[in-house]
Amino acid sequence: MYGPGAFLYTIFLMISWVILIYSINFYYLAYLSRNNVRYEKKRREKIDLPANLPIVTIQLPLYNEKYVARRLIDAVCQIDYPKDKLEIQVLDDSDDDTVDLIQSIVDEYRFKGFDMVHIHRVDRTGYKAGALKAGLKISKGEFVAIFDADFIPPRHFLKHLIKYFNDPKMGFVQCKWGHINEDFSTLTSAQAVSLDLHFLVEQKAKSFTHYFMNFNGTAGVWRRACIDDAGGWHTTTLVEDMDLSYRAHMRGWRSLFLDDIVVDAELPVQMNATKRQQFRWAKGAMQVALKLLADVLISRKVPVDTKLQSFIHMTRHIVNPLFLTQFLIFPMLLAMDFKLYTESWAPFLVLGTYIALGPGGYLAVINQTWKDQWRKKAWQFLFLNFLAAGITVNNTVAVFDAILGKKNEFLRTPKFGVVNKNDDWRGKEYVLPFTKTTLLEIFFAVYGFVAVFISMFSGNPVYAPMIAIPTIGFVYTAYLSIAHSSFKKKRPGAPKSIVPAIEAKGGSTVTTATAVEKTRISHNVNQRIVLAGVMIFIILGGAIAYQGYISAIYPANMALGYLIRAQSAQTPGQLAEYMELTKDALPEEGNPVWLFQTVRTDFVLIQDTLDDVIVRADLTKSIDPHSAAYNVAMIDMHDTADALESNLLEALPYMFVSIGNMIYASVWVLAIIVIFAAMRMVNGKARAKYEQQFKTV
């Protein structure tokens, strides 16, 4: 079969096979993680601390982290390790009042006898990698521990990890991340189970084997000699940790992951912060692939299976644009009434495979990984499904940014010191605005709604759940991207910090605090109104798109079905009936192909052909059904119906992307942009007013 349907179906199948390979590899790693004998032996090995403890440098790369800087430095200074063997470098690239805060904390601990230095750079050259590199030049330690701003290392961290470096080829040891705010929201829960699966499946499977395991940027210790031998920290990618890890492995260094040491950290609580973090990881991984993959693949020292695992690991984010392509193609195939299968049971096989290799398989892994907590983790995994689908737009942009060589600033993930459910972050600094990708997420959400209806009206309701899950994901991500960019909760009463400040100035606590709170409440109300308007506008856009489908695309799909039935009609009467139905379903005039129009897709000519077939069918009724003339007439009309089907299949894609639809979509997106711009303006004005009043207080 030829035509756009066959082409799209071929692309769809090719993508399916690629995604299948990545999915199967996850389950392969899940198997290895439970059967990594070398890892278990090494982890359980009884090792004594060296009699003479080595000097360790702890590096703390920070950038505008005033909400968590104190927590991090306090935790580091409580680590159980001799002070004379410990050097602490606070690598501060901040450009706000975090600089003064850190300086005061460093002075405090230096007074207590800690070997601590505050290294403040003003140009941020190389970003985090540049800061680590600058600190390494003046470091004293034989080993280097790294903690990002949102981490809280336990007291026994160093003494436990340093033992494993009795192996002279041990390059780095990575610990599992914990989550101090895992239960804060569905967003943090989804991120928690995602990171846990990464550590307990991928990292555990590769640990202390010939597979290349990457350092996760924090909560680990490096041997200084390994860093130097691998070429040091490079600033050419956004994931300096993964870059250095691969170079170290190619130089013959080993790595170890420990799941019995958990370093707690703060998960991003804002959707836009999560998207920024995921963007950096996705783009950085593709940058490393472009930089190092060829070297790994051609190296004779790297085993074949290690090359395969490295390829999958470096390129795993390519699944994001492939998934979006599938999401776009599949409803088109259903709308074209393309024959996806030859057997009636095939859709159920597809659905079963999807469940087995998707949610079902992951739930089985979760059950094996968390025996006692698997119900909680399964609930978290539900939201991970939505987050993983919704964030594919963000990660797809990141992948293309990397492939096209677009340079990006290393954008930090803001932390707000959020630990408990009652902690609020919306009124703090560093809250991010929604990004342009939100517009694309809204588009895919609306497209998904239409696709669900297409699957149902095209007679393929079995596919509706497969389309609905990512659609919910796009709605979930887009909604939180908008909602998290505004103040949503009314805060009763004046902030606690305001009252003593007013009293100290001899002002009226009630009057001034109430004015500040009124500004905040007014802002909240405005934001709720605008947010409600955006959601109504999105729903209205989906309703209009659905109406357009019902009035134009769906009748064309029905016409295709009638033409297919006409090709198998056994009598002229049946054939004429199906042709009449086709004629009624199609427009009387027009040509949907606005680019390089052909006579094949001219509806006037198609209608004339249908009239001609109906006349011929009426004439054929009078011919002896056992005669050769009757058979020739029936074959000729069947061939005409087949040709009309091909013509309609050629026209159908252009009905989706008609000039009118493109104009409507452009106006709709422009209106969304205007609404977003208005929201940002309202945010800016209200926030400025609030801050001015707060300063006055």
Cα–Cα dist 557/648, whole Å:
9
What span, in angstroms and rounded, lies between the C-alpha atoms of 304 and 331? 39
Amino acid at site 214: N
The CA-based diameter of the chain, rounded to the nearest angstrom, is 111
Which uninterrupted H or E stretch holds 237? none
Total Cβ atoms within 10 A of residue 277: 17
Question: Contact, 62 vs 228, CB < 8 A?
Answer: no
- Alpha helices (H) in 458-508, listed in sequence order: 464-483, 498-505
Catalytic residue among 241, 243, 264, 337: 241
Quick one: which of 119, 116, 106 has its CA closest to 69?
106
Distance (Å, rounded) from C-alpha 681 to C-alpha 688? 11
- Say how far apart CA 106 and CA 284 lie, in whole Å: 32
Kindly state the helix (H) or strand (E) to which residue 265 belongs, with its residue range.
strand 254-265
| CB-neighbour burial class of residue 48 (10 A; exposed 0-12, middle 13-18, buried 19+) | exposed
Distance CA 283, CA 633 (A): 62
What is the layout of strands, in order, in the sheet containing 151-152? Answer: 116-120, 86-92, 56-62, 143-146, 220-223, 170-179, 254-265, 151-152
* Cα–Cα dist 529/133, whole Å: 49
Q: Which residue has the tokens 């199906």?
A: 578
d(C-alpha 162, C-alpha 149), whole Å = 22
Handedness of CA 290, 292, 298, 304 (dihedral sign): negative
Grouping H, G, I as helix, E, B as strand and the rest as coil, residue 8 is: helix
To the nearest 10°, report the CA torsion of 472, 473, 479, 480. Answer: 140
Residue type, 59: Q
Alpha carbon 442 to chain centroid, angstroms: 15
Residue 463: closest CA among 473, 475, 453 = 453
Collect all residues with Cβ–Cβ distance below 8 Å to 264 and sequence separation of at least 6.
Answer: 151, 152, 154, 177, 178, 179, 180
Exactly one of 93, 150, 243, 337 is catalytic; which is it? Answer: 93
Distance in Å from the first CA to the final CA of the chain: 75
**265 DSSP β-pair partners:** 151, 179
CA 539 to chain centre: 23
For residue 163, the surrounding DSSP H or E stretch is none
Q: How far apart are CA 471 and CA 463, in angstroms?
A: 13
Q: What ranges make up the beta strands (E) of 63-109?
A: 86-92
Beta bridge partners of 91: 61, 119
Q: Is 93 a catalytic residue?
A: yes
Cα within 13 Å of Cα(674), Cβ side: 8
What is the C-alpha separation between 580 and 562, in angstroms, rounded?
Answer: 9
Which residues are the active-site residues?
A: 93, 241
